[in-house]
Amino acid sequence: MTTAVYLRISEDRLGEGLGVERQREDARALAERRGWTVREFVDNDISATNGKLRPGYAALMAAVKSGEVERIVVFHTSRLWRNRRERADGIELLREARVSVVPVKGPELDMTTAYGRGMAGMIGEFDTMEVEVKSERQRREAQQRAEQGRPAGGRRAFGYTADGMALVEAEAAALRDAYQRLLGGRSLSGIAQDLNAAGFITTAGGPWRHNAVRLMMGNLRNAGIRTHRGREVTQGLWPAIVSEAAVRAAIAMLSEPKRRTNHVGSARRWLGTRLYRCGRTDCGALVVSTYREKYADGRVRRVYRCPSCGLSRLADPADKWVRRLVADRLGREDLADLLVSGPDEAALADLRAQSMALRERRTSAVKLWARQVLDDDELEMAKREIAEELAAIEAKLVEAGRENALAPLLASEDPVADWKKLEGRIDEEQAVVRALTTVWLLPPPPGRREFDSSTVHPDWKPANPVR
Ligand SMILES: [Zn+2]
């Protein structure tokens, strides 16, 4: 029979660290005063209630069951049991084995008596209550911080100072650049490479990889929006690095299936694939690329095919024509006037406000439902209407962000030459085309065999789709 000393390293009930040395010293001093020889069981966990396994505690209870333990010395009963279930099971086990608990802080608990077990239960209830009160308070404070627009805390965010309230200029510039490239069609791995090559590391201290880039760029914090538990709460008190439109466009792009993993191997090979639309009346589907043996000479030619109605057009002349149309457009004198202004900030702010108001409406609808002012059907209808309006607004925000694909070209001395240099980098070419126009492939006139450029019809977008 021996005296067990049980030590558990974790935060104490007031959230202050309680070092194992302090627990060990006090527990051993107590055992020495009483003339007990001790055997030590130690666990190290950092949260008091998360249900993690405790090998030290398990070994202690096994020793208790096999009758090796006479008493357990512990700094405080809250070290021994972390929640009600553990406590109930533990008290029962100690009663059967006739083992008492001797805390450094608090009265000795003789588990062979009803009084001892009752005290263990009550002291334990108060321990649990303190833990729960503390976690309630923390949850409330976190919610409040979010509503006040204060930063989330935790590890420093790339581009921001440790308190989250100011910019680290060099990083913020790199991040802005990264958004521009992402929206211009650069892959996540490519952006990770760019950041590494420029000497930036993550705030965790490692090299950039595509997943870290994805997490960073999909965060609305970069647009100055405070989220909490996955919901947008309010405007943050910190400065934005990029526009909300840019972050939303990035999120939309990152959630496209082809972006799910690395970009390599899934890049598109043809300009028009899922970019041009079928121009047959009432169709409008995005076309796909396919090969078809068509000509007497036996040569196989690539065609774009509408998956919905089957319309099929020769692909190479269409691509050549679209590239030329875009070059002409970029070469126009009025290009700067048309496009260089970028997204209209006031219009964006207005869209933002509408989006926030809709989210609030959704929250209040749920509250009304909880108070039984709305029934299930009414709630569903309200949520559906709000979701539709939100989708429309977010589509506009995303569209505004896509304009960014044009920024590098518009800033260039010679946009036409730079556009031609993009040839073959399909993602980037598609982003530019998409920002400028919708391309419709019309059915060919009857009897015509050669390519007729009038059947590739660009529908130019207004200079600023947000206005
Ligand atoms: Zn069609």
Range(s) of the domain holding residue 235: 169-259
Euclidean distance between the first and final Cα of the chain, in Å? 83
How far lies 23's CA from each of 7, 32, 90, in Å?
Answer: 7, 14, 21
CA 101 and chain centroid, separation: 47
How far lies 331's CA from each of 53, 334, 335, 458, 465, in Å?
Answer: 67, 9, 7, 16, 21
193 shares a domain with 88:
no
Does residue 155 sit within a domain? no
Distance 421 CA to ligand 1 centre (A): 32
**Which of 194, 186, 251, 283 shows the shortest CA–CA distance to 401?**
251
Strands 38-44 and 100-103: unpaired
Which residues are near ligand 1, the ion (C-beta closer than 5 Å)? 278, 280, 283, 285, 306, 308-309, 311
Distance 288 CA to ligand 1 centre (A): 11
Distance 295 CA to ligand 1 centre (A): 23
The residue type found at 234 is T
88 shares a domain with 200:
no
Distance 277 CA to ligand 1 centre (A): 8
Distance 311 CA to ligand 1 centre (A): 6
The domain that holds 187 is classified in CATH as 3.90.1750.20
Residue keyed to tokens 């076309």 = 287
According to DSSP, residue 443 is labeled P
Residue 413 CA to residue 394 CA, distance in Å, equals 33
According to DSSP, residue 462 is labeled P
DSSP-H helix ranges across 331-462: 335-339, 345-370, 376-402, 407-410, 415-421, 426-436
pLDDT tens profile 273-283? 989 999 998 89
307 shares a domain with 182:
no
Residue 440 CA to residue 459 CA, distance in Å, equals 7
Distance 384 CA to ligand 1 centre (A): 29
CB 405, CB 431: distance < 8 Å: yes
296 shares a domain with 226:
no
Does residue 440 sit within a domain? yes
φ, ψ of residue 159 in degrees (nearest 5) = 100, -15
Distance 102 CA to ligand 1 centre (A): 81
Residue keyed to tokens 């169709």 = 283
Does residue 216 sit within a domain? yes
420 shares a domain with 362:
yes
Distance 161 CA to ligand 1 centre (A): 52
118 shares a domain with 176:
no
CB 410, CB 184: distance < 8 Å: no
The residue type found at 144 is Q
Distance 279 CA to ligand 1 centre (A): 7
Distance 422 CA to ligand 1 centre (A): 29
Does residue 429 sit within a domain? yes
Does residue 466 sit within a domain? no
Low-confidence residues of the chain: pLDDT under 70: 10-19, 45-52, 256-268, 293-296, 333-349, 398-405, 407, 411, 448-449, 462-467
Q: Which residues contact 135 (CB under 8 A, 6 or more apart)?
A: 49
H or E element, residue 456: strand 456-460
pLDDT tens profile 325-348? 999 988 876 665 555 445 556 666
68 shares a domain with 182:
no
Strands 225-228 and 2-11: unpaired
Note if the pTM is more than 0.75. Answer: no
The count of structural domains within the chain is: 3
Both tokens assigned to 326: 């875009």
340 shares a domain with 306:
yes
Does residue 154 sit within a domain? no
Q: Which of 233, 259, 285 is the last residue of a domain?
A: 259
8 shares a domain with 114:
yes
Is the dihedral angle over the CA atoms 6, 11, 13, 18 positive or is it negative?
positive
Distance 275 CA to ligand 1 centre (A): 13
Does residue 164 sit within a domain? no
Residue 205 CA to residue 453 CA, distance in Å, equals 54
According to DSSP, residue 342 is labeled -
Does residue 162 sit within a domain? no
Residue 394 CA to residue 213 CA, distance in Å, equals 22
Q: In terms of C-beta density within 10 A (0-12 exposed, 13-18 middle, 19 or more buried), how is residue 273 classed?
A: middle
How far lies 71's CA from each of 36, 57, 94, 102, 375, in Å?
Answer: 10, 14, 9, 7, 59
Strands 277-278 and 288-293: unpaired
What does the buried/exposed string (b/e) look like for 163-195 if buried means 16 or more CB atoms within 10 Å of the residue's CB? ebeebbeebbebbbebbbbbbbbbbbbbbbbbb
The domain that holds 72 is classified in CATH as 3.40.50.1390
393 shares a domain with 289:
yes
Q: Is 67 left (phi over 0), alpha (psi -120 to 50) or beta?
A: left
Both tokens assigned to 455: 């059947």
**Which of 116, 97, 95, 98 shows the shortest CA–CA distance to 106?**
116
Distance 322 CA to ligand 1 centre (A): 19
246 shares a domain with 284:
no
The residue type found at 2 is T
How far lies 10's CA from each of 26, 47, 50, 123, in Å?
Answer: 16, 6, 12, 19
281 shares a domain with 244:
no
Residue keyed to tokens 């009304």 = 368
Strands 38-44 and 2-11: parallel
